[in-house]
Structure 1
Amino acid sequence: MTMSDPAYFTRYENLAFERTDDGVLTMRFHTNGGSVTFTGQTHEDLPRALEDISLDTDNTALILTGTGDAFMDQIDGDSLGEIFKPVVWEKIRREGLAVLQRLLSLPIPVIGVANGPATVHSEYLLLTDIHIASDRATYGDFPHPAFGITAGDGLQVVWEEIAGPARAKWLLWTGETIDAATAERWGVVNEVVAHDRAYDRGVELARTLAAKPALYRSLQKQTLNQRLLRRIVEGVPFGMALEGLTAADLAYQR
């Protein structure tokens, strides 16, 4: 961190930031400098970080990516707390909705770079404005089938909207994964590139979009994300309420 970097660059345990001279911000998920294990703290920090990014007028574009050879494929379920309790789940529900809304509402273009498996919160990548995948990337939903709770936290809305209902149902029912080539064929990914070129391609695209006028960037963002934002607001609060019921049912059965 330099003297000119904003305070939020070092504020969050699982988020690392760097920014180019022309304002292209990279936000990397990480745990101790390696591939991230998603935790309750990550869940709490992410909406706050996105708000920080939104308010920082020095940012001209955002690259969202992971660290090492995975975008996100590990989660510490216990760290989310006693999710079967309504007051705990309501906090998670609030945070989960805020992340998706804020990703779509940032006043700058967002480039998603899947640097490897995205089997936890793959919807974050699908909500970006342009989505680049390493040829080693895979997509799916690991946590919900593993934990035995419904996928109501945005996956159901975003995958249905981007890939279509039949593909979304198959992916979320079966717990199977798809590779980057299949994701591109499904219309989920814009480009698949060699693994060691994925981030650089994201930077190229981000710098191209960052060079456009600020008002254009902000209003184009609103124009192109209006429908998806509406779907998120309509579907995620209900979906997360149902997800919370299945979490409570698991606790009841123990």
Structure 2
Amino acid sequence: MPANRVLKTFKQIDLMKRTFNEYKDKYEFLAMERRDGILQVRLTTNGGPWVFTNGAHSGLGYAFADIAADRDNKVVIITGTGDVFCNSAVDSEVGYIFTHMTPQQVDEWYWDGKRFLAGLLKIEVPVITAINGPATIHGEIFMGGDIILASDNATFQDATHIPTGNVPGGDTQVIWEEILGPVRHRYFQFAGQTLNAEEALAFGVVNEVVPLEKLLPRAWEHAEKLIEIPALTLRYSRIAMNQRLRKLVLNEAGAGMAYLGVSLLENYGQFKEPVA
């Protein structure tokens, strides 16, 4: 291929890449900042702790895709706001909206839900998750990190599914079984078990437990060491070590979302008005 055509091809590729300014303020549920190639992503609602909404349900996959498409991101840190990671959702949006959507809207819900953990795993640089408190509502999304830190006040539960009458489908059953093992996973779900930080450490859910005030500094300490490693080593190590998990999510998340949808129809179909 002539040199001028090669140059033109690379220019076209550059046009398809994301830049930080294009997406840093795009998602109202995320606050982002970047320094020296380290992208910090903070979950938030109106400046406070994150409350899970259908907007987040729809937007997380797109946010992860934007982050993955920005080659200037060398390491990603994901954390929450204050002393809560994620432990609440908008009640009137949980289940009710699903049971009152058109088939086309249900398809969008299904499409978005399959891209939580799958989208995170498509970020091809190391991801550090800093759990800064209770992670009981869709905390499993962020268990796809390579280094998972927790503050000493952190707790872990899947409060979104069986405890509220819904199937733990989508990527939920995939990641928790991968982390806990099949026997512990089934108990964790059916018993509505809550793990404190030390139990999570003992069960292999997290790698380190530190005081809350030291959590983000510790995450940045890891990140600053990682960016000293050659960029391609970082990128391809992330890909190599998550290949099996990506296959599991691809194979199992879709069916899990379908099972969850059926349970939502039974659980919330009785309501004619939004739950207060």
Quote the residue 1:59 is aligned against.
73
Deviates more, 1:243-252 or 1:230-239: 243-252
SS of the residue 1:6 aligns to: helix
In 1, the alpha carbon distance for the partners of 2:192 and 2:105 equals 26
- Give the conservation status (yes or no) of the 8 Å contact 1:122–1:155: no
The equivalent residue for 1:118 is 135
Query: Is the contact between residue 64 and residue 113 of structure 1 (CA under 8 Å) also seen in structure 2?
Result: yes
- 1:110-154: CA deviation from partner (whole Å, max 9, x where unpaired): 000000000011212311011001011000011213431111021
Q: Say which SS state the counterpart of residue 143 (structure 1) adopts.
A: coil
Check if 1:14 corresponds to 2:29. Answer: yes
Say whether residues 1:151 and 2:168 are aligned partners.
yes
Matched with 1:249 is: 266
Cα deviation, residue 168, structure 1: 1.1
Structure 2 regions of 5+ residues with no counterpart? 1-18, 272-276
Superposed displacement of residue 77, structure 1 = 4.0
Equivalent runs, 1:10-159 vs 2, <5 Å: 10-20=25-35, 22-79=36-93, 82-84=97-99, 85=101, 86-159=103-176
Aligned partners of 2:44, 2:181: CA distance in 1, in Å? 31
Q: Distance in 1 between matches of 2:245 and 2:98?
A: 27
One-letter amino acid of the counterpart of residue 56, structure 1: D
The answer as to whether partners of 1:144 and 1:151 remain within 8 angstroms in 2 is yes
Residues of 1 paired with 2:111 and 2:225: CA distance?
Answer: 34
Equivalent residue number for residue 10 of structure 2: none
- What CA distance in whole angstroms lies between the structure 2 residues aligned with 1:182 and 1:219? 32
Displacement after TM superposition at 1:189 (Å): 0.6
Identity percentage of aligned residues = 38
- Aligned residues of 1:113 and 1:125 also touching (Cα < 8 A): no
Bigger CA drift: 126-135 or 98-107?
A: 98-107
Rounded to whole Å, the distance in 2 between the matches of 1:112 and 1:147 is 26
Q: Distance in 1 between matches of 2:93 and 2:115?
A: 19
Contact between 2:120 and 2:142, CA under 8 Å: does it hold in 1?
Answer: no
Aligned positions, number = 250
SS at match of 1:37: coil
Q: 2:224: which partner in 1?
A: 207
Output the TM-score relative to the length of structure 1: 0.93
Q: Residue in 2 aligned with 1:220?
A: 237
Once the two structures are TM-superposed, the CA of residue 253 in structure 1 deviates from its matched residue by 4.4
Q: In structure 1, what is the Cα distance between the partners aligned to 2:22 and 2:121?
A: 23
Q: 2:20 and 2:97 mapped to 1: Cα distance?
A: 37
Structure 1 or 2, whichever has the larger Rg, is 2
Q: Which amino acid aligns with 2:195?
A: I
TM-score if structure 2 supplies the norm length? 0.86
**Aligned equivalent of 1:231:** 248
Contact 1:105 1:221 in 2 (8 A): no
> What secondary structure, in the 3-state scheme, does the structure 1 residue paired with 2:195 have?
strand
Provide structure 1 residue ranges, at least 5 long, that are not aligned to the other structure. none
- Following the alignment from structure 1 to structure 2, what is the Cα–Cα distance between the partners of residues 144 and 71? 18
Q: Which moved more, 1:91-100 or 1:182-191?
A: 91-100
Query: How many angstroms apart in 1 are the aligned matches of 2:76 and 2:190?
Result: 32
- Tell whether the 8 Å contact from 1:110 to 1:130 is kept in structure 2 after alignment: yes
Q: Aligned-pair RMSD on alpha carbons?
A: 1.6
Distance apart, 1:252 and its partner CA: 4.2
